[in-house]
Every structure is written in structure tokens, then in C-alpha cells.
Chains A and B, each alone.
Chain A
């Protein structure tokens, strides 16, 4: 029922040109679990097999804060987006 690749077809986002999530890739490299990749309900985190780099797509972030809470390396700099930006629920 949910294809996370098509999240923007189900949920509206007001995309800011500044990210509200910034990763410290040095710290990510020291991580052995990358829990953020699986636990993010919007699939914002990807671990590139080739470059072993952890990337985050802030544009489709549901702003739950799971990554902030689950990261135990302190790599995630996370704040709410600027007012008016980010996920914009219509019904839920």
C-alpha cells in the first residue's frame, strides 16, 4: 500500500532550500549499525554501497525525530525546519 519512493504522492511537503538535517560523515563512518537507514519512516537515509557514504534527503522528512533519538554517535544535527516549511499534513 505504501511505496516509500512515492511518498510525495501521499504527503505534501513545503521544501525549503536549506536543509534542517546535517550529518557529520566522519562520525557516520565510525558507526557499525546505521540504524537511521532502517528506522526512518520516510526512508530519508541511504547508505551507498559503493562509497560507503551515508546520505540524507531532508526534503521528504516527516520530522518525527527518530534519527535524532536513535543515532548514538552524535552525528545528526537536527532541528525543525524554518516556519512554514517541511511536512504539511492535510488530513492524517
Chain B
């Protein structure tokens, strides 16, 4: 049967649309499938779009063209207990000029824009099309079928950009069953708040933005919270490891409601109006949790490839997705020029990805994944630090103890010294 397109891309998220854009620009016939009514209709993230060379290459003045919310001006890491919190905030003048270090975006709006840019370059967007199965011919993947619609979409190469659950990668035999320990459930509430109130309350000027990582907000469950400022809204959410959530018997929306009630967060959320509630899985398996990335006729990009990590300070996902999409496009183009769509030809993708910051970072911080399984991080340590600081700061008109004694008092019942040392080494290994 005649082929319909040169490349078929399943999923019009950042990775898919980036690949489509580059391929269309190079003159290829590209089909970009999207199961939502529009690209982005099925997508959520925390989150931040970090400064990404692959994106800047195509859009040199991104902040003028793309629908961005705020550029991140101040980053805050907070340790939280039910009553207290301690935060470390960082801001620098060097993050205050273009190209900015990171932006908050609304995914249904941004993803739609990026896909439209791909369409402008000549890609064919097929919205409201859920890919159902892969087509194989001569031992090679050569297309997809669409759920509920007749016909086959055939191409020389299929790029699976279908997100964290990637049924395409599964059907291609590139990944096995998803393990609960490799996934985090993110739940998010978008809260409307007028721009001036946000600026006033968060100490921001014009379209500067604030970014909060909240450790300990999940009440002992492995995970964390986030709070980002958009132009006229706040993104508040939690990510919890699925196995931890299951063991706790708690409901994700109850956890989120409790977070909203936290005394310090309440002040920040005052008067905010709930606009939208969303949830999505986040790949948390690190390098080990990634599927295989290519086979005859197919490459896997973005969340579908498990390209997502956090080391406590950096939370990366969208930038990795965009970069992987760009690299897959380059490799697809070369493969099509050479008329070689075999696994061997497409293995170039893995090599290029491996040579880029994407895999290098996944590898560098693979121990961070293990570190994240340290239970004490989520309740005991935030309580320890907050408790210690409370002892340090409390005025009672009684003689003060010195630091080590205070530490011993606070640690008592919470963590033994050797446990503390072991944890410190584990954290050190993850970061140093």
C-alpha cells in the first residue's frame, strides 16, 4: 500500500511538535497525531519551561513569540511541617534578562502554539485522532491505525511522542509493564488571582515569576509540592510516588486540599479562585525506568521515553522532551535520505541523545532517584530542620543550648546519628 507520509508522529506535545516542526521545515511530509481536540488538551505539568537550546535555535526570540506566562525570577525551596516552614530563596540579576532562565506556561496554550508552528511549516495535524495500534510490514514498523476511524496511516518512520503511558512504545515491545514505583501521580489546581495581587503578594515586578518547591507538604508520603506564578493564576500541585500513595490509603485530592490549608500556603492563596483541576502521571523511574528508545522504523521521545528527573533542585521534563524531539527529527531525516529505517540506522538517535545533556543529566542524577526513596526526607527531616530552627529562635528567658545539643534534642526520637550520617552520604552521592 502506498505510504501516506514520510514520518508519522504520535502525540502533539512538546517532543512531538518539535520533531514535526523540524521535519516539516526540511520538506518532509509529516503527520502529527493528537488524541485531544487540540494539542495540549490532554497535557499538564507543574511546571517550568527551562531555557532550551533546541527551542531557542528555532525561536531566537522565544519570549516575544511564544505564549509564555512569567519568566522565573526567584526560586524557593521550602521544607514544610504541618505548622512551620523554612525556605531558601535564590534570585539573581543574571536571570532577569532575556534569554530568561525559565518560564511558566499553560500547557494547553503553549503546546497548541508549538503544534501550530509545526503546521505552518507544513506538517499535517490530525487532531481528535487516538493512535490505536502499530502497523508492521517486513518486520519493520511502518505506520499506525487510528481508534474508531478506518484506514491506515503509513510512513517510513513512526515517532512515539505519546506521553508517560506510551502505548506505542509498549506495542513496539520497547517497554514492559509500568511499575508503580517508577511513577509519580501529579495533581494540580490552577487558581485564579489578579496579576497585581500576585505581584504584590510575591514581591514581583511586571512579568517576573516565582517558583516554589515544597518538601514535606505531602505529610510523609514520598513526593513534593510545587507552586508557580502564572500571569493571572497560581499553579499549586503535588507529586507523590504511586507506591507511597497506595500504602498510605490517602486520596490525592485530600492531600491537595490539606496542602491548600497549610497556614503559610493559605496566606499565599488567599482570595484565589479555583479554575481547573488536573492530574497526570510523571516518570520517576530515572534512567533505569526508561524504555528502549528505538527499533526498526520507530523512535521514542519525551515522557514516552521516560525523560524526566528531579534532584530536588532541578525538575526537568519539558526541556528534555523538546531536545529529544529535535534529535529524533535529525535522525529521521538522515534515515530517510539514506532510505534506511532499520534499528541500526535509528540507533543514531540514542547515541546523539546520550551525547547531549539529556541523558548525561539523567545519568548524573540517577542516584537522586534512589535518594528520593529516602523516607525521612519527607517528614522527619523537614520536622528536624524546622524544629531545630524553632529552638534556635524561640525566646523563653531561659539559658540557651548550643547548636549540637539542640540538634541532639531535636533528633531524639526522630533519627539516630548514624542514620543521619548515612542519609547525608546518600544525599552527597546523589549531588556531589
A residues apposed to B, CB below 8 Å:
1-2, 4, 7, 10-11, 14, 33, 35, 38-43, 62-66, 68-70, 79-84, 86-92
Q: How large is the interface on B (under 10, 10 to 19, 20 to 34, 35 or more residues)?
A: 35 or more
How far is B129's CA from A15's CA once the two chains are assembled, in angstroms?
A: 15
CB distance from A45 to the nearest CB of B (A): 11
Which among A35, A65, A81, A92 is the interface contact of B276 at CB below 8 angstroms?
A: A92
Known: A2-B253, A38-B250, A90-B276. A66 touches B185 (CB 8 A): yes
Chain A positions within 8 Å of B40 at CB level: 89
Q: Which residue of A lies closest to B177 (CB)?
A: A69
Known: A80-B130, A84-B128, A86-B42. A39 touches B276 (CB 8 A): no
CB distance from B258 to the nearest CB of A (A): 10
Q: Are B246 and A10 in contact (CB under 8 A)?
A: no
Which among A4, A66, A82, A84 is the interface contact of B242 at CB below 8 angstroms?
A: A66
How far is B279's CA from A11's CA once the two chains are assembled, in angstroms?
A: 11
Chain B positions within 8 Å of A90 at CB level: 108, 276
In the complex, how many residue pairs between chain A and chain B have their CB atoms under 8 Å apart?
Answer: 136
Chain A positions within 8 Å of B37 at CB level: 14, 84, 88
Known: A63-B42, A83-B129, A89-B40. A39 touches B279 (CB 8 A): no
Q: Which residue of B lies closest to A7 (CB)?
A: B277
Known: A38-B249, A41-B253, A91-B275. A64 touches B281 (CB 8 A): yes
CB distance from A15 to the nearest CB of B (A): 13
- Besides the contacts A69-B180, A89-B107, A92-B107, what 10 more A-B pairs have beta carbons closer than 8 Å? A2-B256, A2-B257, A33-B246, A39-B242, A43-B253, A64-B185, A69-B242, A83-B146, A90-B108, A92-B276
List 5 A-B pairs, Cβ < 8 Å.
Answer: A1-B191, A70-B246, A82-B148, A83-B130, A89-B44
Q: Are B260 and A1 in contact (CB under 8 A)?
A: yes
Residue B343 at the chain A interface, CB threshold 8 Å: no
Q: Are A10 and B167 in contact (CB under 8 A)?
A: no
Interface of B is mostly: mixed
> Would you list the 6 A-B pairs with minimal beta carbon distance, nearest first?
A84-B128, A41-B279, A83-B128, A92-B44, A83-B129, A82-B148
Chain A positions within 8 Å of B250 at CB level: 38
Residue B220 at the chain A interface, CB threshold 8 Å: no
How far is B167's CA from A91's CA once the two chains are assembled, in angstroms?
A: 25
Known: A42-B279, A83-B147. A92 touches B108 (CB 8 A): yes
Q: Are A79 and B167 in contact (CB under 8 A)?
A: yes
Which of B37, B188, B279, B281 has the most CB atoms of chain A within a 10 A radius of its CB? B279
CB distance from A77 to the nearest CB of B (A): 13
How far is B280's CA from A52's CA once the two chains are assembled, in angstroms?
A: 29
How far is B120's CA from A24's CA once the two chains are assembled, in angstroms?
A: 46
Q: Which residue of A lies closest to B256 (CB)?
A: A2
Chain B positions within 8 Å of A66 at CB level: 183, 185, 242, 279, 281
